[in-house]
């Protein structure tokens, strides 16, 4: 059976990209990484992808007349490589409405908070400032509104009394590397359904869509 072709968009180190590439090495993993696209020519993640033999493309956003022109150029490369699912992994660009509309229900992102709390940037510091006892990460479908698409799955971590933004970020990142490959697997297996703005995961217990570390 043909594997689902995944395109990953990055702007930096690409640690979630690396986790997905590693997962895709398993013989029974139902997806393959067909392309990595970056808007930053010297993004460290590109070197990782190339070392693993994954095709890469750099499309700079600089000098583009508008966001949609850039988005269309990225989309054209994804389509040229036969991509069916687009995965954002630290891609630091806000799309025009055209891109999430073009890739509707086939575009996902991972955000380092338990959405809908703490959208945008510096979310670990936001969590610390709010005094929450739990934080984590969320995989969600991407829509034109920022960090607002339907939630697919989440992973929670405790916020410790002596946490800094850096230590909390590191704890969350470890869960991101667990959660993202799992969600891509579910997508490739045809388990993820979306209706009326809510996600259902076929054949998966509802509690399996929430990882918790350490286990309660």
Catalytic residues: 111
Please answer whether residues 136 and 156 qualify as being in contact, where contact means their C-beta atoms are separated by less than 8 angstroms.
Answer: yes
Phi, psi of 179 (to 5 degrees): -75, -45
């Amino acid at each position: 059976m043909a594997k689902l072709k995944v395109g990953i968009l990055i702007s930096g180190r690409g640690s979630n990209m690396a986790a997905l590439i590693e997962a895709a090495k398993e013989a029974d993993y139902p997806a393959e990484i067909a392309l990595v696209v970056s808007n930053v020519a010297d993004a460290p993640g590109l070197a990782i992808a190339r070392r693993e033999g994954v095709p890469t493309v750099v499309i700079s956003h600089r000098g583009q007349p508008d966001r949609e022109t850039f988005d269309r150029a990225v989309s054209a490369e994804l389509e040229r490589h036969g991509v069916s699912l687009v995965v954002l992994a630290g891609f630091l660009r806000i799309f025009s409405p055209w891109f999430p509309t073009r890739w509707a229900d086939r575009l996902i992102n991972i955000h380092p908070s338990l959405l809908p709390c703490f959208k945008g940037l510096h979310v670990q510091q936001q969590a610390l400032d709010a005094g929450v006892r739990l934080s984590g990460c969320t995989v969600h479908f991407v829509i034109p509104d920022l960090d607002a698409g339907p939630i697919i799955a989440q992973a929670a971590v405790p916020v410790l009394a002596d946490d800094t933004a850096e230590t909390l970020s590191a704890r969350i990142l470890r869960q991101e590397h667990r959660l993202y490959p799992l969600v891509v697997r579910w997508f490739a297996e045809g388990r993820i359904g979306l209706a009326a703005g809510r996600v259902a995961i076929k054949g998966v217990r509802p509690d399996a869509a929430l990882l918790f570390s350490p286990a309660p």
